[in-house]
Amino acid sequence: MTSRILDSPITWEMLEADLKRKYKTAARTGSGRRAEFFAGGMGFISKIALVQFDWSEDRDRLPESAIVKITVQDPDFDYTKQTALGRPRKLDEGYLHNNELSFYNKASDPRKVPADLKIPKFFCGRAHGADNVEAGYIALERIKETVGRHFYDNVCRTGAFEALDELVKLAAFSLNDPESLVGWPDNSKSIPANVLARFHDEGPGLVKLMLSAKLQYPELADEMDLMIQWIPRFFDDFANFTELRNSTCPAPILCQGDIWNPNILWKLDGNGAYHVDKVIDWQYVHVGSAVEDLILFLHAGTSAEDIEENLFVYLNYYYNELASRLNPGAVMPWNSVQELLKQYEIAYIYMTMLLLPITIKMLKLDDLAGGKEKAQRTLDAKIGKQAKDTARFLKRHFME
């Protein structure tokens, strides 16, 4: 039997040794063990394997199978060359893996992570770089009978409210016990900061990416031209940008950091409604603005029509649910749902200017097996909505 899992530096011996230590067993994996690519096999920064163990003993208390995320460094990206002092730092795959591993290790402690958060069961893992191995892994329970949703898909309102419930848990936990936030990364280790470092400071530049996006969506030229004018004002001074981010949520909150459709495992009921089963992919977990998590989910999970009609409904639900969960003495970050809406619109501007051109560049539907026309219509509607809203919010909050 081959020792390497998915031809990676992670071996069966490593995985077996870690599980034996975790479960205090002498069991060995047998000749029936196997590993195969799962769900396409590749995440943005990892190989994903479905592993069957075939234990020699203790089968009643050892996992029969696991989803194993294996992370190696991108050989084509130079992380040794960093941005200038005072600018955001590029986050490599090793950091992101280790940050997610730290989250799952902390999740067993209800003083660090909400006990009722819907996350997969964690079996074991290894840090990237441990024992001089240029890879790391995380072994999680296999969640069966779930469906995936992407940016070009929508979820129903039931599913959207359930996703907001998970964000409420994180926010209430943070506000009720601010000391629980000690030891988590700050928002310099987040998607907005990493996008700036990788694509604005060192890459082709957000302006060039937006110009490229404008070629694909010429009907949005006016909106994208306005965003291009404002890109330097928002992002050239990183200290000011960080101050703006912090101002959208004055109280620090533990944020998932990457909560869009693909990072939620959904259950589909008999009526065609989607329900949150588990929230996955915690590489960007950090302490920052809860508003950014709201934007990450709502801009991707809901249809353009739904968010046009019901944005205030969603924010009002989140606000009231959060207020109802606070302990005596804990204070809401915003004094009203109207203030939350204002901060949402402000954060929406910089989040869209960062993420929209990247989304257009990276998200291609050419290989989509079925439903390509519907997916393209959904994608185009969301992109159009985001560009128009960003221009509208810019005029409302910065130009009037």
- Write down the residue that tokens 């949703």 correspond to: 149
**Residues 241/171, Cβ–Cβ less than 8 Å:** no
Q: Looking at the chain, how many residues does it have?
A: 400
Report which residue type is found at 203: G
Residue 66's H or E segment, with its range, is: strand 65-72
Amino acid code (one letter) for 377: R
pLDDT in tens, the chain (400 residues): 569 999 999 999 999 999 999 999 999 999 999 999 987 644 556 789 999 999 999 999 999 999 999 999 877 666 666 667 678 888 999 999 999 999 999 999 999 999 999 999 999 999 999 999 999 999 999 999 999 899 999 999 999 999 999 999 999 999 999 999 999 999 999 999 999 998 877 666 899 999 999 999 999 999 999 999 999 999 999 999 999 999 999 999 999 999 999 999 999 999 999 999 999 999 999 999 999 999 999 999 999 999 999 999 999 999 999 999 999 999 999 999 999 999 999 999 999 999 999 999 888 887 777 788 999 999 999 999 999 999 999 999 999 7
- Tell me the whole-structure pTM to 2 decimals: 0.95
HEC secondary structure over 25-54: CCCCECCCCEEEEEEEEECCCCEEEEEECC
Instruction: Please list the residues that pair with 71 across neighbouring strands.
Output: 136
Q: At what angle do helices 290-301 and 372-394 cross, to 10 degrees?
A: 140
Angle between helices 337-362 and 290-301 (to 10 degrees): 60
Residue 391: half-sphere exposure toward Cβ, Cα within 13 Å: 14
Which residues lie closer than 8 Å to 13 by C-beta, 6 or more apart? 3
